[in-house]
Amino acid sequence: MKEDRNRVRSGLWYLRGLRTPEATSNLTLLRPSLSLRLVADAVLWVVAMAVGAASLGASLVHGVVAGGIAAMLQAVLGLVSGLYRGRWRLASFEEVIALSGTVTVVTVLLAMLRVGAAALGVTVAISVLSPFVAMCAMVGIRGMRRHAHERATRRESAAKTREPVIVFGAGDGGTQLVRSMLQNPSSRYLPVALLDDDPGKRHLRVQGVPVRGTRRQLIDVAAELDCSIVIIAIPSAGSRTIRAVADHATACGLDVRVLPPTQELVDGVVTLSDVREVTEADLLGRRAIDTDLDAIASYLSGQRVLVTGAGGSIGSELCRQIARFDPSELIMLDRDESALHGVQMSLEGRALLDTRNLVVADIRDGDRVAEVFGEHRPHVVFHAAALKHLPLLEMYAEEGWKTNVLGTNNVLRASAQTGVTHFVNVSTDKAADPTSVLGYSKRIAEQLTSWYANRSRGDWVSVRFGNVLGSRGSMLPAFRAQVDAGGPITVTHPDATRYFMTPQEACQLVIQAGAVGHRGEALVLDMGQPVRILDVAKRLVANAGEPIDIVFTGLRPGEKMHEDLISVGELDIRRAHPLISHVAVPAFRPTQLGLFDNSTNDNARNSMRELSQRVPFSARESAAKPIVL
């Protein structure tokens, strides 16, 4: 921020005709290449004006004088604008635009002052046409200089021992990557070919590197050019494209590298350091999410926002994304103090645990929850606290009831009492046609949210989605630990499938859902295509480089072969966002919570199942086809 303020202040002083010491040093101590650029432009002005005058029968001396004046004006304007201070790369689009602007201003000044016209005996035609000739010459010389530099760089790169690579993707990402490789003398990669499935790019060359075909030609091009690495340079590519290209490259015996998704790039600029190994997130959950930033900012900016379960995988990512919208206060609640330590460190770069916005509390304790809400009086609540491990909840059903149902009711009641305007209950795909304690308890939580929503002001919604990649206790970390231990990897069933999404993607849509949801709805996030768990395990085994067994353990009690996102009878209506479905949820009266039977674990489970189905769905008799509005 301080550097930005200094740059603005420096620019304002220049406009006032003043110079800071730093700016003065930039003017007087130009790099040799920039000085040569200034001199070359000055010479071109003089030559263009002189030739123009001579060719049209005007005085050659007058043309030279006019060219000299134009050169001085160009030098002053170029130094002030940064044209001769290295602000833009040689012959880049930005430099050409700046150069055009400078030449245009010089031309207008010449015409206005009539320095290049009647006063010197030079016609107006010369004072207009000659600058155009000078401009073309300046751009041409810059282009030739850059082309020569790039050819020399390629020869120098080829002379070094560098790994030849094929770049898949000849769009903006691939172009930036090829340039970065060729211009970075320490690069370990040398791009020798591009591949792209777009037939319109088959004759394209990027810095001399040609497009040699589509992915179908990958094995032939790799063999011809002796390449062992392919880099997927499409930051906007989804997981399906990444999987397809990576599988094809692996089948060809090539190692695969990838660029991160667009949202992870700094200012959308690709650099050599962005190239990395392919991760499970690239293969399973990578999608570009188009969010309505204005709608989100309207309900988060300047508001007091409270997140329960703030130390968990979803809760902590929610906190990081919410913080970008500048809430007046971000209250992070969790019963795990170590988790709060970690989320404060990720947000603030420190973890002194000395601020009141870090709240240690258990949502099972209704009095404590009411106390927290009374102190902070949040405007917006994201409720992410929950017990989520399905097999454990099958054994300890009452614990799931206490946290996922009674705890949620405590948070809902406190939110209603303190006037919360936006409430987002984080649910799960297991609440759709539930078959487990986790699903029953989260379904009841959705129904409780619907009941409170109809009796409170503002938009109160639930958000339903599937497995989050890399979350604590989830499948991928467990598989990695089994691979590190030498195996075996345990898979429930060879045909079992699950939906996957990264925490970043899920939280983007959760926050968006808070802006577009209507009172009492469940908003269902589009998770893409389900993935076979066995395929994930096989990929991890292939990457391990050593034989690892895969053992099938069978589905556990309460588990489904294939997860559902929308229950039978629920309509898939997408009225506000293409990746968010709006589903009506029947209300569940809090007074019905007293019907829960916890005398035994089986009774608790059966009681929860009956309560979750006590209110029938409005159209259960027929499964509706998806509707996109």
Q: How far is CA 345 from CA 329, 349, 453, in A?
A: 17, 5, 34
Listed residue (409, 391, 557) closest to 475, CA to CA? 391
**195-198, long-range: CB within 8 Å, 24+ apart, which pairs?**
195/166, 195/167, 195/168, 195/169, 195/170, 195/221, 195/230, 196/168, 196/169, 196/170, 196/171, 198/170
| Amino acid making up residue 274 | D
Whole-angstrom Cα distance, residue 588 to residue 342? 36
Gap between the terminal Cα atoms of the chain: 44
Query: 255-258 and 531-532 as β-strands: parallel, antiparallel, unpaired?
Result: unpaired
Give the length of the chain.
629
Is-contact 168 196, C-beta < 8 A? yes
Tell me which of 2, 160, 201, 430 is the catalytic residue: 430
Indicate if 430 belongs to the active site.
Answer: yes
Whole-angstrom Cα distance, residue 153 to residue 167? 18
Whole-angstrom Cα distance, residue 559 to residue 556? 6
Structural Rg of the chain based on CA atoms:
32
- Beta-carbon neighbour count of residue 591 at 10 Å? 8
Question: What is the DSSP code (8-state) at residue 50?
Answer: H
- The beta strands (E) that lie in 400-557 are given as 422-426, 459-464, 467-468, 489-491, 497-498, 500-501, 522-525, 531-532, 550-552
3-state percent breakdown (helix, strand, coil) of the chain, nearest 5: 50, 15, 35
- The beta strands (E) that lie in 196-343 are given as 205-206, 209-210, 229-232, 255-258, 276-277, 304-308, 329-334
Whole-angstrom Cα distance, residue 209 to residue 219? 18
Is-contact 441 474, C-beta < 8 A? no
* Sign of CA pseudo-dihedral 237, 321, 419, 424: positive
Listed residue (364, 437, 435) closest to 406, CA to CA? 364
Q: Can you read off the two tokens belonging to residue 165?
A: 């690579």
Listed residue (496, 497, 489) closest to 539, CA to CA? 489
Is-contact 79 165, C-beta < 8 A? no
592: left (phi over 0), alpha (psi -120 to 50) or beta: alpha
**Residues catalogued as catalytic:** 430
